[in-house]
Amino acid sequence: MKTALTELLGIDIPLIQGAMAWISDARLVAAVANAGATGVIAAGGLTAGELSSQIRKAKTLTDKPFGVNVMLMAPNKEEIVEVICAEYVAFVTLGGGDPVPYIKRLQASGSKVIPVVPNVKLAQKMEVEGADAIIVEGMEAGGHIGKITTIALMTQVIPHVNLPVVVAGGIVDGRGMAAALTMGAVGVQMGTRFMVAEECSVHPKAKEMLIAAKDTDSVVTGWTCKYTARSLKNALTTKLQQLEIEGGKATEQEIKRLILGAGKKGMIDGDTEWGMIMCGQSLYPITKIESAKTIINTIVDEVKQAINKATALIL
Amino acid sequence: MKTALTELLGIDIPLIQGAMAWISDARLVAAVANAGATGVIAAGGLTAGELSSQIRKAKTLTDKPFGVNVMLMAPNKEEIVEVICAEYVAFVTLGGGDPVPYIKRLQASGSKVIPVVPNVKLAQKMEVEGADAIIVEGMEAGGHIGKITTIALMTQVIPHVNLPVVVAGGIVDGRGMAAALTMGAVGVQMGTRFMVAEECSVHPKAKEMLIAAKDTDSVVTGWTCKYTARSLKNALTTKLQQLEIEGGKATEQEIKRLILGAGKKGMIDGDTEWGMIMCGQSLYPITKIESAKTIINTIVDEVKQAINKATALIL
């Protein structure tokens, strides 16, 4: 599977394990990279020193290319970018703010730069600004989300930029990956699927909950205070939905207090009721804990099967 | 392109022009059917007598198979089903309520029955109840919508039912259709794309607005009063969003009053500010007014191109 993404990053499989705050660390990223795909260390929530340690640790675990994600709402983003430039990683994904001030700087350090964009206009802007590729992420993704879905983004962004487009959001298996490639994507990014990797530090109780979850079990909260995020339904999201839908019953401050820190509480500490288990809308295929290598090999086989079946249709 | 859908309905191209209240009438449906795909007359908003006339008119315009959609929230749904049984159509799609009481009755009249379902559980129920196929429609669709997106539905529903699955929502071109077929769908349903067909009775001002619209130009309103619908941003949706987000500022009654009748006002009368122009989220490919035949031929070419490119990737 040679695509513009495998060429750009020097990888075998056009699949990126996406950044997930707290949980996509050196161990997961290295396991994914060693299996022929590539992974992204999430800098969100890390100090500059912690990120530096994670990058160095990943380099002891793999000699394959991997990336770092810069969360552009983070107050320490300048220091984070400095660390990335000093340590060198193969690529940097950026989301949650304006990536433009960082593109040339990161490229000068040797990294490829891949902003995450929510619509055609910003995709075209990234092309003008010299990004190496872009990621479009649909609102069926986990964590912080926008409004446009994956199919609508693929339909509209891919033909309107001269940049390689990686697709994310609701894609968790090889059929989804095959669909994205068929639409002209150069690869896909998956988060949720890797949350149940053996090498992923998600708390066992949160992994269990993800494995049990169905298509209707994710919910969007935080939209009244710009912390729009998708996560598993639990006591916290039910409370948030009450407060947000019955508007005027809670201040933005009260809602924020419930949300801040909830990701770490849920996914690392295993508080599956009052923490947030961020995840995408495609949950049925999340059925067991497996090694990153097994997950990736299964996906590759599924891609080939799906495309072969489609090929037979048009003969 | 032989699939379980082309076999089931006796059509050449596995593409359904979806039901759109007020606008998918005999003329549009016959044009689509004559081009080798198939169309659906929307019974929503029609009296039993009007539906009967539309079915008869369509039969004078085409000898190809076509369908009718029953809107299960309609107060006259019993009479509508009676007319369908009396007149005979090749297939019936049903949405917005419980299709179970109508499945056997419609099948006894000779129609294939294809319920529209929003999740895996209801898809499996339709299999048990003997439906001939199902349609899953993502929340990027126009008009009344649910919460799950097209990619998430394709990922989760298709492998969990032994029924042919047709996919709708955000699919407006051959790349999207190819993606659905690659995921194992037996065909797709498109609405928005046919709103700009020459044979579609959408008001010219509404067609113009659709052609000018971008990826970020649709919006979801009515969710506080169960009239959740996607339409083009305009004065009405801005007003609704204010009333709905600033909860407590308007009663459900006030919001409903703004919504009821707005579809006809926008799409037929051409009031593009205070009517509702229902449409999906994929709007960039809606670039010109063309015949249904040209639209369909273009889509078929694009499907083949997209699948051929994907095939080359895995060789």
Read off the amino acid at residue B315. L
What's the mean per-residue pLDDT of chain A? 96
Residue A267 clears pLDDT 70, i.e. is over it: yes
pLDDT of residue A192: 98
pLDDT of residue A223: 82
Residue B11: DSSP 8-state: -
Cβ(B159)–Cβ(A282) below 8 Å:
no
pLDDT, one tens digit per residue, over B123-165 is 999 999 999 999 999 999 999 999 999 999 999 999 999 999 9
Domain parsing of chain A, residue ranges:
9-198+285-301, 204-267
Contact across the interface for A155 and B284, Cβ inside 8 Å: yes
State what percent of residues in chain B have pLDDT above 90: 91
Question: If pLDDT is split at 50, 70 and 90, which confidence band does B247 have?
Answer: low
Length of chain B: 315
pLDDT of residue B275: 97
pLDDT of residue B227: 85
Contact across the interface for A281 and B148, Cβ inside 8 Å: yes
The closest CB to that of A215, out of B156, B172, B303, belongs to: B156
Q: Tell me the C-alpha distance between B191 and B281, whole Å.
A: 11
Cβ of residue A305 closer than 8 Å to a chain B Cβ: no
Cβ(B51)–Cβ(B80) below 8 Å:
yes
Residue B250 clears pLDDT 80, i.e. is over it: no
Read off the amino acid at residue A240. L
The tokens of B261 are what? 């009748």
Q: Tell me the C-alpha distance between A291 and A30, whole Å.
A: 12
The closest CB to that of A178, out of B149, B182, B248, belongs to: B182
Q: Which residues of chain B neighbour A306 with C-beta distances below 8 Å? A: 182-184
229-288 in chain B: CB under 8 A from chain A:
245-248, 280-285
Q: Which residues of chain A neighbour B2 with C-beta distances below 8 Å? A: 313
pLDDT of residue B224: 80
Cβ(B237)–Cβ(B302) below 8 Å:
no
Residue A251 clears pLDDT 90, i.e. is over it: no
99-138 in chain B: CB under 8 A from chain A:
119-121, 138
% helix, strand, coil for chain A, step of 5: 45, 15, 40
Distances from the Cα of A305 to the Cα of A150, A309, A310, A312, angstroms: 22, 6, 9, 11
Residue B246 clears pLDDT 90, i.e. is over it: no
Identify the CA nearest to B291 among candidates B187, B200, B182, B188.
B200
Q: Which residues of chain B neighbour A286 with C-beta distances below 8 Å? A: none
Residue A278: DSSP 8-state: B
Beta-carbon contacts of residue B205 (< 8 Å; ≥ 6 apart): B270, B272
pTM (2 decimals)? 0.97
pLDDT, one tens digit per residue, over A22-65 is 999 999 999 999 999 999 999 999 999 999 999 999 999 999 99
Q: Tell me the C-alpha distance between B304 and B177, whole Å.
A: 10
Please name the residue that has the structure tokens 């009721």: A273
- Best mutation target among A1, A140, A175, A182 (most B Cβ atoms within 10 Å) is A182
- Phi (first) and psi of residue B136, to 5 degrees: -105, 135
Cβ of residue A170 closer than 8 Å to a chain B Cβ: yes
The tokens of B68 are what? 């009718």
Distances from the Cα of A44 to the Cα of A47, A68, A231, angstroms: 9, 10, 17
What's the mean per-residue pLDDT of chain B? 96
- Phi (first) and psi of residue B67, to 5 degrees: -130, 175
Q: Tell me the C-alpha distance between B290 and B275, whole Å.
A: 24
pLDDT of residue A297: 98
pLDDT of residue A225: 80
Beta-carbon contacts of residue A180 (< 8 Å; ≥ 6 apart): A150, A154, A167, A171, A187, A188, B179
**What's the gap in Å between the CA of A157 and the closest CA on chain B?**
9
Q: Are strands B91-95 and B134-137 parallel, antiparallel or unpaired?
A: unpaired
pLDDT, one tens digit per residue, over A66-110 is 999 999 999 999 999 999 999 999 999 999 999 999 999 999 999
The closest CB to that of A149, out of B160, B170, B184, belongs to: B170
Closest chain A residue to B246, measured at CA: A247
Cβ of residue B315 closer than 8 Å to a chain A Cβ: no
User: Averaged over B172-181, what is the pLDDT?
Assistant: 98
Q: How many whole angstroms from its chain centre is CA B119?
A: 17
B10-42 burial code (b ≥16 CB/10 A, e <16): ebbbbbbbbbbbbbbbbbbbbbbbbbbbbbbbb
State what percent of residues in chain B have pLDDT above 70: 99
For domain A9-198+285-301, which architecture applies? Alpha-Beta Barrel (3.20)
User: Averaged over B214-224, what is the pLDDT?
Assistant: 93
Contact across the interface for A156 and B3, Cβ inside 8 Å: no
Q: Tell me the C-alpha distance between A88 and B170, whole Å.
A: 39
- According to CATH, the topology of domain B4-200 is TIM Barrel (3.20.20)
The closest CB to that of B152, out of A215, A245, A310, belongs to: A215
Closest chain B residue to A283, measured at CA: B156
173-232 in chain B: CB under 8 A from chain A:
173, 175-176, 178-184, 214-216, 224
Beta-carbon contacts of residue B310 (< 8 Å; ≥ 6 apart): A178, A181, A182, A307, A310, A311, B178, B182
Q: Tell me the C-alpha distance between A40 and A70, whole Å.
A: 10
User: Averaged over B246-268, what is the pLDDT?
Assistant: 85
Q: Which residues of chain A neighbour B224 with C-beta distances below 8 Å? A: 245
Residue B290: DSSP 8-state: B
Q: Which residues of chain B neighbour A283 with C-beta distances below 8 Å? A: 156
The closest CB to that of B281, out of A152, A181, A184, belongs to: A152
Cβ(B44)–Cβ(B71) below 8 Å:
yes
Q: Tell me the C-alpha distance between A150 and A170, whole Å.
A: 7
- Phi (first) and psi of residue B4, to 5 degrees: -60, -25
pLDDT of residue B162: 97
Q: Which residues of chain B neighbour A160 with C-beta distances below 8 Å? A: 284
Identify the CA nearest to A276 among candidates A252, A242, A240.
A240
Cβ of residue B74 closer than 8 Å to a chain A Cβ: no
Contact across the interface for B154 and A176, Cβ inside 8 Å: yes
Residue B298 clears pLDDT 80, i.e. is over it: yes
Q: Which residues of chain A neighbour B139 with C-beta distances below 8 Å? A: 149
Across the beta sheet with A229-232, the strand order is A143-144, A229-232, A218-221
Q: Which residues of chain B neighbour A176 with C-beta distances below 8 Å? A: 151, 154-155, 183
User: Averaged over B88-110, what is the pLDDT?
Assistant: 97
The closest CB to that of B246, out of A1, A183, A247, belongs to: A247
Torsion, CA B264, CA B270, CA B271, CA B272, rounded to 10: 110
Question: If pLDDT is split at 50, 70 and 90, which confidence band does A294 have?
Answer: very high
Contact across the interface for A175 and B157, Cβ inside 8 Å: no
Angle at A128 between CA A126 and CA A131, to 5 degrees: 45
pLDDT, one tens digit per residue, over A130-172 is 999 999 999 999 999 999 999 999 999 999 999 999 999 999 9
Residue B315 clears pLDDT 70, i.e. is over it: yes
Contact across the interface for A171 and B183, Cβ inside 8 Å: no
Q: Which residues of chain B neighbour A150 with C-beta distances below 8 Å? A: 149-151
The closest CB to that of A303, out of B169, B247, B314, belongs to: B314
Please name the residue that has the structure tokens 């050449």: B12
Question: If pLDDT is split at 50, 70 and 90, which confidence band does A248 have?
Answer: low
Q: Which region among A239-248, A271-280, B128-137, B202-211 has the lowest average model confidence (pLDDT)?
A: A239-248
The closest CB to that of B183, out of A147, A155, A306, belongs to: A306
Q: Are strands A218-221 and A187-190 parallel, antiparallel or unpaired?
A: unpaired
pLDDT of residue B297: 98
User: Averaged over A108-137, what is the pLDDT?
Assistant: 98
The closest CB to that of B284, out of A160, A245, A313, belongs to: A160
pLDDT of residue B223: 82
